Chain A
Amino acid sequence: MSGILVVGTGNSWRGDDAVGLEVASALRGRLPETVRVLATEAEQSSLMDEWEGCDAVLIVDAVHSGAAPGSIHRVDLNAEVVPHAVLQGSTHHFSLGDTIELARALKRLPAKALFLGIEGESFSPGEPLSPAVAAAVPAIVEEIAKEVEALLNGN
């Protein structure tokens, strides 16, 4: 498979919301050169342009579900609809959940689309990653490396 994009997204100034960006940074140099790694704080609907033409996209972001901090949630976006609560947008933003569902409606989701959510603990302005979330970064980096390897091997 060619055209693989790994996106880490979040807000670098809001505590554990930065974990997707941290994962993307940690992945640099860890994946084959043909795999594009993007760390972005962009308005989320623009992600559709980023994965346009890709065969596979892996999206990494922080989540807040009440699970243990640092635990990893895995959603196969082509098999499952993102839970409704994920679609909680705001008056202003177009959220990642909105973007995924919009891409689905417009038939603009890549053939393989995987969401990896890392449970956050604190989203306070200016805080670093909480210890449990920082500790989860190597594990998710490994998981993504395995996913990418499987994709490249055609699995």
Chain B
Amino acid sequence: MADETRTIKTDYLARVEGEGGMLIRLKGNEIEEVKLNIFEPPRFFEAFLRGRYFTEAPDITARICGICPVAYQMAACNSMESVCGVKVEGQLKALRRLLYCGEWIESHALHVYMLHAPDFLGYPSAIEIAKDAPEVVETALRLKKIGNHIMTVVGGREIHPINVKVGGFYKAPSKAELEAMVPDLEWALETSLETVKWANTLDFPDFEMDYEFAALDAGGVYPIEGGERFVSNRGLDIPIDEFYEHVVEEHVKHANALQGHMKERDSYLTGPLARYALWYDLLSPEARGAAEGIGLPKVVKNPFKSILVRSVELVEACAEALRLIREYEQPAEASIEVVPKAGAACGASEAPRGTLCHRYELDDKGIILDATITPPTAQNQPQIEADLRGFVGQFMDLSNEELTLRCEQAIRNYDPCISCATHFLTLEIERT
């Protein structure tokens, strides 16, 4: 028995070349191997960006992910504006934050209800939930639609918003256009408060990890559309421009991908758990109230409870969107002038699933000489592997089937992004 070898294996996208899979090999009570290959880095895009004009980066990088195009646009804009020595502030910055709230609402609603909840409720997917409890899925779809609508009104188009540019926007919406969204957002806020209570009725495995939490420091507000510093609960506190002096990307053979590590440190976690732990005090009264209402501590170390924290952030995004609309005044100009300069800089934003960092080097004509993009999932991948090791070590007695399900759930705790994933259908034809 002691020498029995168990293998836990899942191919997430079994028929999609090389995109996603998990292998855990146990020998008796020893974990021999944990391999995770869930992420394909956007290397093609980095190569494609070289030689392009600096203003093209937001639109090109927005295509990397269908779920978080705004995250890519904002990181690209922040980086370009930093190279060129300009700062987007005031109502233009507020509009960017509002656009980003739309993305958080859309992405968090999708993940909480349709991707993560099935694991907790014992359903294979949201489709089966829809058959038994259609109102749960309809709620998620309506929340998502409201998030998408913000992206349409502010961003011009809900996926791959086309209204965003380096320096601001092509066109600023009127106050009336934004105010028209208020009734829907009020419904979304109420619903997200209910979502937090509903998520708290789920069962969570008794499991905690001792994380290094890392997130942007946005200078006195909960980090969303940007931040000048990258900080952690273990003393990391660096200007975002020094990101690549502290985070190194290592090529991991089994994953055929690059994974982010902090130099001379262990794995770290970025995303909702980290933002919440580091910046709890900056949450809106509504979001803090929701957390307090279910007795959620200020630091959550059980990764399965990320669904609770994601729900609290859903409240935050709705409350923040309402506040931004209330305080909005249409700016006279939709953008500020940005003159290209030779140089290099990093820019980052808080994608729903964690910190996304871009670095660009430009020549004096504004041509991109070099581009580096480090998405949150690249940074989280070593931590997900560490979670899997910890979880399997603690729950080794579970059957292979149960352990496989729990490990898949442990991966979904991170809402991992499979960047530039294909959309095509895998079609199996049986002929008899």
Task: Other than A11-B422, A106-B138, give 7 A-B pairs with Cβ distance below 8 A.
Answer: A41-B160, A45-B110, A45-B141, A46-B148, A63-B427, A98-B127, A120-B424
Q: A42-B159, A63-B426, A85-B426 are in contact. Are A13 and B130 (CB under 8 A)?
A: no
Query: With an 8 A cutoff between CB atoms, is A112 at the interface?
Result: no
**Chain B interface residue number, banded:** 35 or more
Bound state CA distance, A94 and B129, in angstroms?
14
Per-residue CB contact flags for chain B residues 123-154 toward chain A (1 = under 8 Å, else 0) read: 00111101100100110010011001000000
Which residues in B have some Cβ–Cβ distance to A below 8 Å? 12-17, 19-20, 38, 44-45, 48, 63, 66-67, 106, 110, 114-115, 125-128, 130-131, 134, 137-138, 141, 144-145, 148, 158-160, 408, 411-412, 415-418, 420-430
Kindly report which residue of chain B lies nearest to residue A97, judged by CB atoms: B425
| CB atoms of A96 and B425 under 8 A apart | yes
| CB atoms of B115 and A62 under 8 A apart | no
- The distance from the CB of B243 to the nearest CB of chain A, in whole angstroms, is 24
| CB atoms of A88 and B15 under 8 A apart | yes
Q: Which residues of B have CB within 8 Å of A70? A: none
Bound state CA distance, A11 and B45, in angstroms?
13
Q: A17-B423, A43-B67 are in contact. Are A92 and B417 (CB under 8 A)?
A: yes
Q: Which residues of B have CB within 8 Å of A43? A: 66-67, 106, 110, 159
Bound state CA distance, A93 and B421, in angstroms?
9
A-B interface contact total, Cβ < 8 Å = 160
Per-residue CB contact flags for chain A residues 32-60 toward chain B (1 = under 8 Å, else 0) read: 00000000111111101100000000000
Bound state CA distance, A146 and B171, in angstroms?
40
The A contact surface, by secondary structure, is mixed
- The distance from the CB of B291 to the nearest CB of chain A, in whole angstroms, is 25
Bound state CA distance, A27 and B88, in angstroms?
40
| CB atoms of B415 and A92 under 8 A apart | yes
Q: Which residues of A have CB within 8 Å of B425? A: 61-64, 86, 95-97, 117
Q: Which residues of A have CB within 8 Å of B423? A: 9-11, 14, 17, 41, 44, 61-62, 93, 95-96
Among A49, A64, A90, which residue has its beta carbon within 8 angstroms of that of B424? A64
* Chain A to chain B: the 7 pairs with minimum beta-carbon distance, closest first: A85-B428, A125-B44, A65-B427, A105-B130, A42-B159, A62-B424, A63-B427
Q: A13-B63, A88-B15, A126-B48 are in contact. Are A93 and B127 (CB under 8 A)?
A: no
Bound state CA distance, A30 and B125, in angstroms?
38
Q: Which residues of B have CB within 8 Å of A92? A: 67, 115, 415-418, 421
Among A40, A41, A63, A83, which residue has its beta carbon within 8 angstroms of that of B63? A41
Q: Which residues of B have CB within 8 Å of A101? A: 127
| CB atoms of B137 and A106 under 8 A apart | yes
Q: Which residues of B have CB within 8 Å of A9? A: 423
